[in-house]
């Protein structure tokens, strides 16, 4: 198999040299579409004194989903390049367990590196 390509093999997916039980490429695409639909249906609106809580909640959801959408698109690129599921921290590079990817398909760090990052950058805490 060509390293940069993925192929379905008996219900499993080969990305680079790694075998996955789930088609994370399809999972990422589906989540990307869900977010795009939500963003389109719920545009950012100016803050209105009468519905300030709802407006702020909508706008915060917008911000969070845009960040997630960016992470999803980066993960799709890693999928296509055959490096999906590998911890992207400079000094790591281990395979992220599939169980973690099931919970956070667009994750780019193993749990250990994510914890280190959250401790060293508490203001940039992200769950993926």
pLDDT of residue 2: 37
Maximum CA extent, the chain = 60
pLDDT of residue 39: 92
pLDDT of residue 8: 46
Backbone angles phi, psi at 15, to 5 degrees: -120, 120
Residues of the chain with pLDDT under 50: 1-10, 128
Alpha-helix runs per DSSP H in 82-121:
98-103, 111-120
pLDDT of residue 75: 94
Q: Over the stretch 90-121, which tens digit does the pLDDT of each residue have?
A: 889 999 998 899 889 999 999 999 999 888 87
Going along the chain from its start, the domains and CATH numbers come out as 6-124 (1.20.120.910)
- Provide the 8-state DSSP code for 122: G
3-state secondary structure of 44: coil
pLDDT of residue 66: 93
pLDDT of residue 16: 62
Neighbouring CB atoms inside 10 A of 75's CB total 25
pLDDT of residue 45: 77
């Amino acid at each position: 198999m060509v390293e940069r390509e993925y192929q379905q093999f008996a219900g499993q997916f080969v990305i680079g040299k790694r075998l996955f039980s789930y088609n994370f490429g399809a999972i990422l695409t589906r989540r990307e579409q869900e977010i795009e639909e939500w963003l389109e249906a719920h545009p950012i609106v100016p803050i209105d004194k009468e519905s300030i809580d709802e407006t702020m909640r909508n706008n915060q959801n917008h911000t969070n989903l845009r960040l997630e959408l960016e992470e999803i698109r980066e993960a799709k690129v890693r999928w296509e390049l055959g490096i999906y599921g590998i911890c992207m921290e400079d000094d790591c590079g281990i395979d992220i367990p599939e169980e973690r990817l099931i919970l956070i398909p667009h994750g780019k760090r193993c749990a250990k590196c994510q914890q280190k990052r959250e401790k060293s950058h508490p203001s940039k805490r992200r769950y993926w």
